[in-house]
Amino acid sequence: MRRMDGRETHIPFMKMHGLGNDFVIIDSRGRGAMMTAELARAMGNRHRGVGYDQLAEITDAPGADLHLTFWNSDGSQAGACGNATRCVARHVMDATGKAQLHITTARGDLYAVEAGGGQTSVNMGQPMTAWQEIPLAHEADTLALPIEGAPVATSMGNPHCSFFVPDAEAVDLARFGAAHEHHPLFPERTNVQVASVIAENHLRMRVWERGVGITEASGSSSCAVAVAAHRRGLTGRKVQIDLDGGSLMIDWRDDGVWMTGESAHVFDGQWRL
C-alpha cells in the first residue's frame, strides 16, 4: 500500500517455516529492496513484532529467477540460509508452476528443484574448508580447530563450527552455543552445531545460529555438519540429519551440497510502517 506521495505505508509479508525454523518472507520484486537493520530488528521481535529466525527479501535478478537477501533477527545480515531458500523456492514454484529455479544470493548462484511429495531440493553450492574462506582469525586446521572438543570449521556462505559429541541431547546448548558464537577464532562470529552419530549415515544435530540463538532447524548448518562428518570419516556423503523440528536429507555431490526437506506456509500479513 502507498500514500498519495508514493511512499509505502504497509509491507506485505508471508510467514513460512522449514521444520520449525521460521521465516518472514518479503517479496520486493518490481519495487526494489526496502529492508534495513532497524526494520529487521523490529519485525524480528517475537513480543512486539512478527518474530522469526531469519528474514528473506526477494528482489529481481537479471539472468535468474530471483535474488535473496537474508537478515537475522538481531538486524545483521546472513550470507546464506538454506531453509529460507527452500521455503522461498517452494512458494515460487507453487505460484509459477516451475519445477526448477535459479536463485542468486551473496553466497552465489543456487538452484532449487521439485523433489516430489511436497519436498524441495536446493543445491547450496560447494563447501569452503580453507581457513581464509570461513574466515578464521588466523591459520588453523579446519578439520580439528584448536578449541576444546576439536570442532570442524566449514563455510556454506556463512561460518560454521561443528562439534561431534557422544550425545547431542546432553549438551547445554544455550550456554555452549552462546560461548562459541563469539569465539575469537571467528572474527565474523559463527553458527554452532553439536552432532552425534546415531546410525550409519544418520546424525542427530542441534543448532545455535549466529545472531539468533537456538533454532529448531538450520539448512546451512545441516549441510556444514554433513560435510564435516564426511571429512572426519564418520559418514558417507549422503546422510539423514535429525533436528529438533524434523529431518533433512543432505547429499554432497560433485556439483555441490544438496539439501532436501519440507516447508510450510503459515500465514500472510502486512507490516504497518
Query: Under a CB-based contact definition with an 8 Å cutoff, are residues 156 and 125 in contact?
Result: yes
pLDDT tens track for 200-238:
999 999 999 998 999 999 999 999 999 999 999 999 999
Query: Under a CB-based contact definition with an 8 Å cutoff, are residues 213 and 177 in contact?
Result: yes
Domain that holds residue 68: 10-124+261-272
- Domain tally for the chain? 2
Q: Is 174 contained in some domain?
A: yes
Residues 265 and 249 grouped into a single domain: no
Q: Is 77 contained in some domain?
A: yes
Q: Is 131 contained in some domain?
A: no
pLDDT, residue 6, reads 53
Average pLDDT over residues 133-156: 98
Residues 119 and 177 grouped into a single domain: no
pLDDT tens track for 233-267:
999 999 999 999 999 999 999 999 999 999 999 99
Q: Is 139 contained in some domain?
A: no
Residues 19 and 120 grouped into a single domain: yes
Residues 106 and 156 grouped into a single domain: no
pLDDT tens track for 48-80:
999 999 999 999 999 999 999 999 999 999 888
Q: How far is Cα 238 from Cα 109, in angstroms, rounded to an integer?
A: 22
Q: Is 135 contained in some domain?
A: no
* 215: nearest Cα among 18, 20, 16, 14: 20
Q: Is 134 contained in some domain?
A: no
Phi, psi of 101 (to 5 degrees): -135, 145
pLDDT confidence band for 9 (50 / 70 / 90)? confident
pLDDT, residue 7, reads 62
Average pLDDT for the chain: 95
At a CB cut-off of 8 Å and minimum separation 6, what does 157 contact?
Answer: 79, 80, 105, 106, 107, 108, 124, 125, 220
pLDDT, residue 129, reads 98
Residues 159 and 118 grouped into a single domain: no
Q: How far is Cα 133 from Cα 152, in angstroms, rounded to an integer?
A: 14
pLDDT, residue 2, reads 54
pLDDT, residue 107, reads 86
Average pLDDT over residues 102-117: 94
Q: Is 5 contained in some domain?
A: no
Give me 170's grid cell.
546432553
pLDDT tens track for 20-44:
999 999 999 998 899 999 999 999 9
pLDDT, residue 4, reads 38
Residues 174 and 265 grouped into a single domain: no
Q: Do strands 108-116 and 100-105 pair parallel, antiparallel, or not at all (unpaired)?
A: antiparallel
Residues 224 and 181 grouped into a single domain: yes
pTM over the 0.95 mark: no
Q: What is the CATH number of the domain that holds 227?
A: 3.10.310.10
Residues 225 and 266 grouped into a single domain: no
User: Can you say how many angstroms the Cα of residue 45 is from the centroid of all Cα atoms in its chain?
Assistant: 19
Residues 189 and 266 grouped into a single domain: no
Q: Is 146 contained in some domain?
A: no
Residues 213 and 180 grouped into a single domain: yes
Residues 83 and 41 grouped into a single domain: yes
Residues 106 and 191 grouped into a single domain: no
Give me 62's grid cell.
537479471
